[in-house]
Amino acid sequence: MAANFRILFHKSESSLHLKLLGTLDGSSALELLNTLKVKTFGASRVFIHTAGLNEIDPFGQSLFRSHFNELKAIATPFLFTGEKAFELAPERNGVVGIVS
């Protein structure tokens, strides 16, 4: 995992907010995926805030996008925000949105 990568999270009503900080590399992408699997239970929406990301490594991006499909079974809408939202979010489908 990138030494400077962190995930801050909090719940607001029934929404879960994850604020990503630092550099997202391959191991950081796996940490994010695992966090999403564990923390999304009971959330009606999940916001993934990317404004705190300095960089998204191409391998981390590819790893996150390729394993994101495993989260579709949760059937919770995932909303990506921030300037790196388009870079991180998988291709648009029924459970993913990008908020500008």
pTM, two decimal places: 0.87
Look at the chain and count its residues: 100
14-73 pLDDT tens trace = 899 999 999 999 999 999 999 999 888 888 999 999 999 999 999 999 999 999 888 877
Give domain limits for the chain.
6-99
Which backbone phi and psi does 94 adopt, to 5 degrees?
-65, -15
Task: Determine the topology of domain 6-99 in CATH.
Answer: Transcription Regulator spoIIAA (3.30.750)
The Cα 99–Cα 69 span in angstroms is 20
CA quadruple 43, 68, 61, 93: dihedral positive or negative? negative
76-86 pLDDT tens trace = 888 999 999 98
